[in-house]
């Protein structure tokens, strides 16, 4: 999970519009053109797009097959409000048996983005209750890092192919979902072996 947190930190840096990122393969919204009634944004993509959110040397433990996003963007006096939901299908290794498995993740999300003033460009540390509040600079907001952040936040700490997954035999490595093995079923903890012959006198 530490790697995921590091990725989130990098994604947060990309909310700004003048960071040198290319306009291609991005989802940039012109704040000045958001109508009074708001702007609905619908987006569907796959793993090729998802990988553009990260540096080439950053390797993820899962692949994104598809994602569908639907959100509404509104603006009040420069402050931008984003409210939406997404559904995605990911491909990852099961934490128990290590077999490749597909998992559906979905979530609702809300963000409040406030414009950064020229004299306040230094980073501001947010409190836990303010994690859905961020900032933007310039006339554009890139939705790509926001969506990528939401995907990462919804990845389970422990991915399972199914709840009743038996995992691997700790001795021979056999996938117990597919076959049984001849290993001793009652594997004793060697650290407790010294207590085997211990007797309590009455």
Beta bridge partners of 41: 71
**Is the pTM above the cut of 0.75?**
no
| Residue 183 resides in a domain | no
**Domain with 20 in it:** 2-153
Q: What pLDDT was estimated at residue 171? A: 87
Q: Tens digits of per-residue pLDDT, 28-55?
A: 889 999 998 999 999 899 988 888 888 7
| Residue 138 resides in a domain | yes
Antiparallel, parallel or unpaired: β 28-30 and 140-142: antiparallel
| Residue 199 resides in a domain | no
| Residue 194 resides in a domain | no
| Residue 186 resides in a domain | no
Structural domain count, the chain:
1
Q: What pLDDT was estimated at residue 8? A: 46
pLDDT by 10-residue block (mean), the chain, 202 residues:
45 41 60 90 89 78 92 91 94 94 94 74 48 78 89 91 91 90 64 61 62
Q: What pLDDT was estimated at residue 61? A: 84
| Residue 62 resides in a domain | yes
| Residue 164 resides in a domain | no
Q: What is the largest CA-CA distance in the chain?
A: 85
| Residue 147 resides in a domain | yes
Residue 14 phi, psi (nearest 5): -95, 10
């Amino acid at each position: 999970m530490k790697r995921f947190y590091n990725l989130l930190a990098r994604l947060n840096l990309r909310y700004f519009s003048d960071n040198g990122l290319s306009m291609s393969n991005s989802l940039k919204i012109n704040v000045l053109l958001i109508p009074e009634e708001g702007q609905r944004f619908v987006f569907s993509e796959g793993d090729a797009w998802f990988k553009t959110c990260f540096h080439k040397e950053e390797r993820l433990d899962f692949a994104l097959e598809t994602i569908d996003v639907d959100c509404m963007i509104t603006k009040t006096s420069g402050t931008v409000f984003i409210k939406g939901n997404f559904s995605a299908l990911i491909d990852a290794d099961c934490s128990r048996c290590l077999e490749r498995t597909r998992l559906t993740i979905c979530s609702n999300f809300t963000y409040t983005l406030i414009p950064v003033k020229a004299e306040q460009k230094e980073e501001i540390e947010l409190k836990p209750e303010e994690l859905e509040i961020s900032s933007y600079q310039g006339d554009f907001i890139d939705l790509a890092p926001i969506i990528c952040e939401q995907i990462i936040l919804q990845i389970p700490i422990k991915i399972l192919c199914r709840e009743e997954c038996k995992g691997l035999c700790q001795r021979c490595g056999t996938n117990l979902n597919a076959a049984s093995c001849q290993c001793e079923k009652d594997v004793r903890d060697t650290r407790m072996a010294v207590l085997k012959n211990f007797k309590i006198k009455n």
